[in-house]
Amino acid sequence: MELQTGILNSREEVLAALKTGLLQALAQGGREQCWLDKDFCDWPLSDPEVLAALKAWALPHRRLHLLAHHYEGLRRAHPRFVSWRQNYGHVVEAGSFTDEDMALAGGRKLDALLLAPGTLCLRVLDSEHWRAVLSAERPDELLAREWFDAIQQRSSPSFSATTLGL
């Protein structure tokens, strides 16, 4: 399936763009991915195709930057991805952010972001009404990256690959 850039106006369009965008970005083998969502529950992270693409992509020099409000929903909704994260923790940097962190990031609000530098930028503007913008334009990528970096700088480490217990 070929990605069509532009405005997305339904849940089906946004979820299809997420899956296709993830597969395309991972197949192109960019050095990093930047993902942001409140909990990643709606993302296709248990999809066998996406997991296979993640496994192939996860080389030591690559980085997957995750930012979420919390990861409990992800742990419940996507146990296969959690397992992948345990096996490929060397490529994952995960952080947790607050609404205040987002407000300090320049006033722009996004509900979710899939950024694959040099490939695509999917910005979910309203997750309640499923409104999003998919772009391959460099200026959109730069703005999204600046916003993501501002939130990441204020985030705290979270979603560790392993949990220690006594």
Q: What is the mean pLDDT of residues 28-51?
A: 95
| Contact between 25 and 119 (Cβ < 8 Å) | yes
CATH number at residue 84: 3.30.870.10
Q: What is the DSSP string of 3-46?
A: ---EEE-SHHHHHHHHHHHHHHHHHHT-SEEEEEESS-TTS-TT
Is 166 part of any domain?
no
Predicted confidence band of residue 5 (pLDDT cuts 50, 70, 90) = confident
Domain span at 81: 6-157
- 49 has pLDDT over 80: yes
- Average pLDDT, integer, range 51-79: 96
| Residue 56 located in a structural domain | yes
Q: Over range 39-56, report the average pLDDT.
A: 96
Average pLDDT over residues 3-23: 92
Give the mean pLDDT of 62-90.
95
pLDDT reported for residue 16: 95
In a domain, 60, yes or no: yes
> Does 163 reside within a domain?
no
